[in-house]
Amino acid sequence: MGQSQSQAHAFYKDLAKNKKVWTIRDEGGYPALKNSDWTKISTILVTLSRVQKIIKNVPAYNGFEPVELSWDEFGDKWLPGLTKDGLLVGVNWSSKNATGYDLDAPWVRECVEIQIKEPEDA
């Protein structure tokens, strides 16, 4: 399993367990970046420490603040909204360049719901 795939798996598992995610925003709102295919992406992370590292280490995110979202808010509002707006979910990005998997919102929901129903630690 590669690092990006491992980060995505950790994202599903942690979100299913803790029922919350984090994103970032500034006074202009929530950023939507473009990947190498020019598809827009919304950055979503599962821990506050990951968000803080991204804000500290990625110059484009300096000045942003962490925002916590419950699973209900993320699953019921954000994922349908991201789908409607044509955005992918950038899950658990890491490194100095903030890179990782960019996934379709319905796929993210499905993977998290599988983890909720059948946790690996059970």
Q: What is the DSSP string of 11-37?
A: HHHHHHHH-EEEEEEBTTB---EE-TT
In this predicted structure, what is the pLDDT of residue 60? Answer: 82
| Residue 74 within a domain | yes
Structural domain boundaries, residue 29: 3-117
CATH value at residue 92 = 3.40.1350.90
| Residue 14 within a domain | yes
Task: Give the Cα separation of 97 and 100 in Å (integer).
Answer: 9
| Residue 122 within a domain | no
User: 117, exposed or middle or buried, with CB in 10 Å at 0-12, 13-18, 19+?
Assistant: exposed
| Residue 22 within a domain | yes
In this predicted structure, what is the pLDDT of residue 1? Answer: 56
* Ranges of the chain with pLDDT below 50: 122
Query: Domain tally for the chain?
Result: 1
